[in-house]
Structure 1
């Protein structure tokens, strides 16, 4: 029930705020037209009217296609003589009135972005990592272009294309994705200063469906602890600001590593933690995690598997029920308790709902089918009561300039042969709905609001492009009329406008095709990997999708 309510809440959030971005844009046009005394035939949110009413001479409409909206103002249309809906002629609007009216829509989007951006500035948004002025390589793929160019584990990246940075990991990834041509990394290795120059290439492991140049290395993300007052961590000697280096001798490269070792795999046994404090390593031994409050645990059999069908066993946890029953890497799981496994979520849920009773797995090993009976074991989550939440407080101007920078680099990449960014990576209404939904569902409301700020800024900037049918096109036509003291001939403007309308519709259909493919991929795609979140005996399976927003996490294989 809680999951259903969460999904409903996310849906309401998406529809309301996306609709509000459209509404505020059209409201700008509407109010400016009222101010300048122009005739307004209709104010519509959505296309293809399903409901409406008339008030003050204006028809207010709701459309069944929630992909935008419009204010019907015949006097700013340069393709013919303006007329009312009844066919009565209207005086042509002055160029200044048309400019004010056209510009007001984008202006209201930008003002809304600054208003909402102020809320984000005050409250802050959760980050995937802290902001860093250097990035230490924790792992690197040996066949990658970065490795071939000379980048190595433990190298510390201090500059990107000759410039210093202060960014989160995802912001650094965006620098790589938006780069055109070669990238030069300034690196510190021991006492030496080096430069690593390479050409970013498609990373099939991280983004197989997008074919983008995601880095082939993982950073060592500082795991900074802030123990709660009176907690086990504080009593053991951990202090605010301590950085975790290892847990029981295993390197901790990210918060996911720490959570996995501390909360999911410790089993409540004493742990030895190596921390970095004021540049010095400090060993804290025999910290005993305690069970997470109100956590009833979840049943597992100890297999790490792929979400790709047929489900393949990637690894076995030593000492687990799967290990005792003789399961091996490479086994394919085809049925559980006589029922075919047609999706990973069904397999996971069957184990959880076993309540510790024996289950029978049918596996395929090479060309043979075997039945294995095993008893799931109750797994509980543990904690030492520390926090490591990173919150950023970007001011509205920073948010606005970030959108401008990303828009410029996206356009630059689209028209460059030396970039992996293509037109198919852009998003239309379907993609925007999907992005907002995923951000709120996996992240938080504040992260969702941050995305809304980016969308409303982008909507305002995009509409200022000097293209017929967009607000920027209307402004350019009015400016020409002001300078030339005459309008462009309707015989010229009309066919050009029709061509651009056709191009715009075609482009939207093109983008919507890839947006729809991503939605299909989310639910039915051959992801090969999944991110499983298990709490309080409940599980939800989420396909791994790197959205490049602030809540992204490193992909993991599911475990049961």
Structure 2
């Protein structure tokens, strides 16, 4: 037993669990706050707002709402008066009941849970972009033998300053230009310490002084090689490479608040696009279902992100927040998307669906979600066993 405990605490499992709890709690509480604030604005009585689930550890009633911290710190919940359409209410309470709202108001309350997930992600990303994020500089960290870069004489530590006359300083710009001009020979502007140029083809062009000198830029010509591989969706792709890897030299690039906000918006949209495209690829059978990850994978990724620093950890929270917001909009009973679908049906029919139908639909939805949870958890376990 002692050995098991020592193994548990010495491994990264504890960090993974703690990071997972923080990630889920922040995202779910923010999601529930979206429901809470809109319900309050529309006059619906909010009976409970809890941080966590299970037995209440601390609770305090402020006004008509009981605020609580519960034992299981995995998110939280909001309880609205009249969520159960068959709940018996006094005439006074009926006026403030969720079930008696117009379908449009029901839609707003339900919809703003996922909306707040997107807002949370946008706020986090705006802060990250305004504070500055590490940008890889175009400094060569490794040159692969047998590839064009090695044949042309590139060396570890070289700084690539231009591609075909276009000035660059970021590694991402270098990679983009290699893809753009890869069909033909490209001219790279290179800076390197002169005293590191010995025994190299470029050395013939450099005056050896014995001192580190980056004062001159030299052009070398490289013909990129076209290679094939698989992208993150396991689709076959081709790309041009010259056989180099970046160093870990970075520079922090911050933005003003408006630029950071715009960058945050673009990043949220990119995450939404990747998520939707991943779902499409899964449905189309182009991604195996065994690639789906569940709570164990999220916990492991949470721990990994936390170990990389606050910026990476909060970026991960933003990504998961967008994913949860988007998935909650899927029209599955028991998710927000299912309630939104019921609201639209009520608008069209001009009367609500029967409580019995909604109850049965919710049971089917919960059963589906539980089976999905078991399936992705099985994937996680098998993935860990194999590795």
TM bin, normalised by shorter chain, reads 0.5 to 0.7
Q: In the alignment, which of 33, 51, 55 is matched to residue 39 of structure 2?
A: 33
Displacement, 1:272? 12
For the 8 Å contact 2:328–2:337, the answer to whether it is kept is yes
For the 8 Å contact 1:109–1:460, the answer to whether it is kept is yes
Q: In the alignment, which of 406, 423, 432 is matched to residue 298 of structure 2?
A: 432
Q: Deviations over 1:140-177 (max 9, x none)?
A: 9xxxxxxxxxxx8669xxxxxxxxxx9959x99xxxxx
Counterpart for residue 322 of structure 1: none
Normalising by structure 2, report the TM-score.
0.64
Asked if 1:280 is matched to 2:219, the reply is: yes
Equivalent position SS for 2:250: coil
Equivalent position SS for 1:41: strand
Q: 1:45 to 1:428 in 2, by over 3 A?
A: farther
Counterpart for residue 188 of structure 1: 182
Displacement, 1:28? 1.2
Counterpart for residue 461 of structure 1: 326
Counterpart for residue 100 of structure 1: 108
For the 8 Å contact 1:224–1:388, the answer to whether it is kept is no
Q: 1:272 to 1:95 in 2, by over 3 A?
A: same
Normalising by structure 1, report the TM-score.
0.46
Displacement, 1:99? 1.3
In 1: Cα distance, 2:344 partner to 2:191 partner = 56
Asked if 1:409 is matched to 2:248, the reply is: no
Counterpart for residue 76 of structure 2: 69
Q: 1:189 to 1:68 in 2, by over 3 A?
A: same
In 1: Cα distance, 2:268 partner to 2:340 partner = 22
- Match runs of 1:144-543 below 5 Å: 168=172, 188=182, 191=185, 278-280=217-219, 388-391=249-252, 395-417=263-285, 419=286, 421-441=287-307, 443-517=308-382, 520=384, 526=387
Asked if 1:81 is matched to 2:20, the reply is: no
Q: 1:22 to 1:502 in 2, by over 3 A?
A: same
In proportion to residue count, which structure has more helix? 2
Displacement, 1:59? 3.4
In 2: Cα distance, 1:512 partner to 1:224 partner = 50
Counterpart for residue 23 of structure 1: 29
In 2: Cα distance, 1:247 partner to 1:9 partner = 47
Q: 1:12 to 1:131 in 2, by over 3 A?
A: farther
For the 8 Å contact 1:466–1:473, the answer to whether it is kept is yes
In 1: Cα distance, 2:290 partner to 2:101 partner = 39
Q: 1:458 to 1:168 in 2, by over 3 A?
A: farther
In 2: Cα distance, 1:433 partner to 1:49 partner = 24
Q: Deviations over 1:518-544 (max 9, x none)?
A: 5x55xxx65xxxxxxxxxxxxxxxxxx
RMSD of equivalent CA atoms = 4.5
Gaps of 5+ in 2: 1-8, 152-169, 202-209, 221-246, 255-259
Displacement, 1:481? 1.2
In 1: Cα distance, 2:88 partner to 2:145 partner = 66
Q: Deviations over 1:266-313 (max 9, x none)?
A: xxxxx99999964536xxxxxxxxxxxxxxxxxxxxxxxxxxxxxxxx
Q: 1:84 to 1:455 in 2, by over 3 A?
A: farther
In 2: Cα distance, 1:26 partner to 1:93 partner = 19
Asked if 1:53 is matched to 2:47, the reply is: no
Gaps of 5+ in 1: 141-151, 156-165, 173-184, 193-221, 226-235, 239-243, 251-270, 282-385, 527-560
Q: 1:502 to 1:131 in 2, by over 3 A?
A: farther
Displacement, 1:70? 2.0
In 1: Cα distance, 2:25 partner to 2:248 partner = 36
In 1: Cα distance, 2:19 partner to 2:199 partner = 43
For the 8 Å contact 1:430–1:515, the answer to whether it is kept is yes
Equivalent position SS for 1:37: coil
Q: Deviations over 1:4-57 (max 9, x none)?
A: 9x9988876553343111111111111111111213232233333342424134
Q: Deviations over 1:214-245 (max 9, x none)?
A: xxxxxxxx9998xxxxxxxxxx659xxxxx9x
For the 8 Å contact 2:191–2:214, the answer to whether it is kept is no
Q: 1:137 to 1:403 in 2, by over 3 A?
A: farther
For the 8 Å contact 2:16–2:299, the answer to whether it is kept is no
Q: Deviations over 1:329-381 (max 9, x none)?
A: xxxxxxxxxxxxxxxxxxxxxxxxxxxxxxxxxxxxxxxxxxxxxxxxxxxxx
In 1: Cα distance, 2:35 partner to 2:341 partner = 16
For the 8 Å contact 2:35–2:78, the answer to whether it is kept is yes
Q: 1:9 to 1:76 in 2, by over 3 A?
A: same
In 1: Cα distance, 2:215 partner to 2:288 partner = 43
Q: 1:7 to 1:432 in 2, by over 3 A?
A: closer
For the 8 Å contact 2:191–2:217, the answer to whether it is kept is no
In 1: Cα distance, 2:66 partner to 2:381 partner = 33
In proportion to residue count, which structure has more strand? 1
For the 8 Å contact 2:191–2:216, the answer to whether it is kept is no
Count the aligned residue pairs: 305
